[in-house]
Amino acid sequence: MRENEFTIPDPPDNDRPNDQWLGESDQQPSLTWFGRRRRWYWGGGVGALVLSVCSIWFIPSAVLFKPGELSSPHAQILAGSVGSERCAACHDSESLNVTAWFSSASETPGHKGVKQSDRCLNCHHRTINTNLARAAHNLPKSVRDELTESFRLAAADKFRSGEGPGFQLSQLVSTGTSIDQDDIECSVCHREHHGADGHLLAVTDNQCQTCHAVQFGQFDRSHPQWGQWPYGRGGSIAFSHASHQNKHFPGWQNGSLRFDCNRCHPDRKVVAGLQTNRRGELLRTVAFETGCAACHESSMQTTIGPGIELLAVPSITTETAARQKNWPESATGFIDGRISPLMELLLRSDKQAAESLHQIPDGELSSLNPENIKSEAISKSVAEATVRLIDEISQQGHLAIKNRLATAGTINHPLGSVLRTLPPQLIIDARREWFKPKAASADIKEALRLQSQVRQVVADDDDLLSEDSSLLNSDSLLLESSDDELLIDPLASSPSDDPLIEHTEPELTPLNVSPEFDAGTMAGEGGWYRDDLRLAIRYRASGHTDPVLKGLIEMFSGLSDADPLKERFMNVPAVKACVDCHSGATRLPASWEAIPSVGGKRDFTKFSHRPHLNVSQLGQCTYCHKVSEGHGDVEGEHDPSLVDFEPLERQTCAACHTKNAASDSCTTCHRYHIEH
């Protein structure tokens, strides 16, 4: 039978649609299909509700509401924790209650006034400044505004010069108005509970470009050119490739030696265990002993010369010296002398001399006008302050120097390397030798003069005095001789003074020590010494890596760049020999080593040679670093800012850094967290 021929019976009169019961009023009612289905729905719903309540009641909430597995770093840290303890390490325990899941964060006691970023900083406070954790790039607003302005000016210059579209640079650091740059949560970029393989540091380009106004496309077409990077950054050691290649190693020019970068930039596998290789990078340069000493050791010894002056007695006029007790005669006559930077730093704590020091140009007393009455007062003030300084060190030793430097503002600098080599006895002996009492010295000279005018003789019998001689009542036994020489009674003379008695003891020859001390010969290995000719205490460095010289440079590096004393000290020949190469030591924290060029934590751009050297084609440095033809140091002077390599261009990197090759993601070369 066909479907259209099937006869459907008429429904009963008492069966209405959606009616729960079926049947007449006088008969036993029965449930319709719709009624039975409704009962099943209600029964299943109540059963599910009962099962859910039982699950919430008996199953821990940390297991029941688990959003996902932790990433490997956090999972390893919390490997020994289970249940609620595991969650409570990052989430407040009160927020793990069942009721907390159905209330807002502001009402939950564990979350009230506390953001999730605060929980993150409980562990990461050592690497991220808690005060700047939510600020964009962890930089304060003033620094961000300064960077924005510098980008804007650079963009304007590029636009005026026609070098490129300046608007990209100007808008590179601009952000949308809807983003609060001072309240960015950690979870915006770092998402947890994405499994053990989830990468917390993986940030997409879309996340970066959410804040920046410029929407970049592919790296090789839309990324701005970076100009002189990386050569404009400089380094902790000033060095010119051009001057060394053209001046110091001419053999590389005529072809007798092969110009090989690996001579000075060895691989970490070749030079293992060095501190500068701790990041697995190429060495910025070899050690001084193996790469530089052959040429620079002898010149360094010559430059060190007499060394650094701790203190020196200035020369003053005779009138001023007469008013000073026991002032040295060798420092008397006219105003002269030089106040060394170290001595001036020690004298700054002397309030009586501080004003006078400011009136002496470059510490040169000879530059004062001798006809000016103020010059006399200035030299007198400096002379008195010098005596007080020497007396304090003679009485208190190292403590006197520490107290004076603390007053000068260098208390935070460790002075152990400087003071442990300075013997206080050196200052005490210098004080005793330079400031001898004048009275005792005059008596000795007068006695020597009288001794040259007195001659001892042997008297004859006729020369003996009788008892009635009037000379017996004289107060003196000295007789006037015919040659106007004074005679002395031989009986009053010592037997040893008798010229007739033969002397058997040999005469002692005094040690003839010149007051001029040759530091190069006598103190060739370095150390503190006393210069009696100049009346000075000096230190001669022992050579490269001298600890005292290094400590003094770091101490003066703590002074303000506007302080002329800092510039004077850095121009001392012994110091200049250090800072000409170690330019990073003139500011704190001082940098003495050539650290790997991977980009410091204060840089937005990061770079590492290590993954690039794994590519055989990039094993040769000149593949990326093109040497400029004919570019060199013409005058032969050392110029740290000299660029002797062609700057890297974007296309050099874009040849490999594509989406399907070495990655062209923003975070490949740029870091977000900047250490300020």
Give the pLDDT confidence of 21-65 residue by residue, as tens digits: 565 555 556 666 667 777 888 888 898 888 887 876 776 666 666
Q: What's the CA dihedral at 317, 321, 327, 332 to 10 degrees? A: 20
Q: Output 404 or 198, whichever has higher pLDDT.
A: 404
Q: Tokens representing 346?
A: 């020690």
pLDDT score, position 316: 94
| Cα 434-436-437 angle, rounded to 5 deg | 150
pLDDT band at 385; cut points 50, 70, 90: very high
- Residues 479-511 as b/e (b if ≥16 CB within 10 A, e otherwise) read beeeeeeebbeeeeeeeeeeeeeeeeeeeeeee
Residue 336, pLDDT above cutoff 90: yes
| In the chain, % of residues over pLDDT 70 | 64
- pLDDT of 317 > 70? The answer is yes
pLDDT at 509: 47
pLDDT surpasses 50 at 489: no
- Residue 106 DSSP symbol: T
pLDDT grade for 312, boundaries at 50, 70 and 90 = very high
Task: Report pLDDT digits (tens) over 121-154.
Answer: 888 888 888 889 899 898 998 988 888 888 777 7
At 645, is the pLDDT very low, low, confident or very high (cuts 50, 70, 90)? confident
Q: Find the helix or strand (DSSP H, E) in which 424 lies.
A: helix 424-434
With the C-alpha atoms ordered 347, 348, 350, 355, is the resulting torsion angle positive or negative?
Answer: positive
Q: Does residue 529 carry a pLDDT above 90?
A: yes
pTM more than 0.75: no
Scanning the structure block, which residue is given the tokens 């066909």?
2
Cα–Cα distance between 605 and 280 in angstroms, integer? 18
Token pair 């330079």 is found at: 434
In what side-by-side order are the strands of the sheet with 479-480?
454-456, 486-488, 479-480
Return the minimum-mean-pLDDT range out of 34-38, 320-324, 430-434.
Answer: 34-38
Q: What is the mean pLDDT of residues 528-546?
A: 91
Average pLDDT over residues 299-310: 84
Average the pLDDT over 289-315 and give the result. 84
pLDDT at residue 473 is higher than 50: no
pLDDT one-digit tens code per residue, 182-201 = 888 888 888 888 888 888 88
pLDDT tier, 659 (very low <50, low <70, confident <90, very high otherwise): confident
Give the pLDDT confidence score for residue 81 in this predicted structure.
72
115-119, 169-173, 225-229, 379-383 — which one is most confidently predicted on average?
A: 379-383
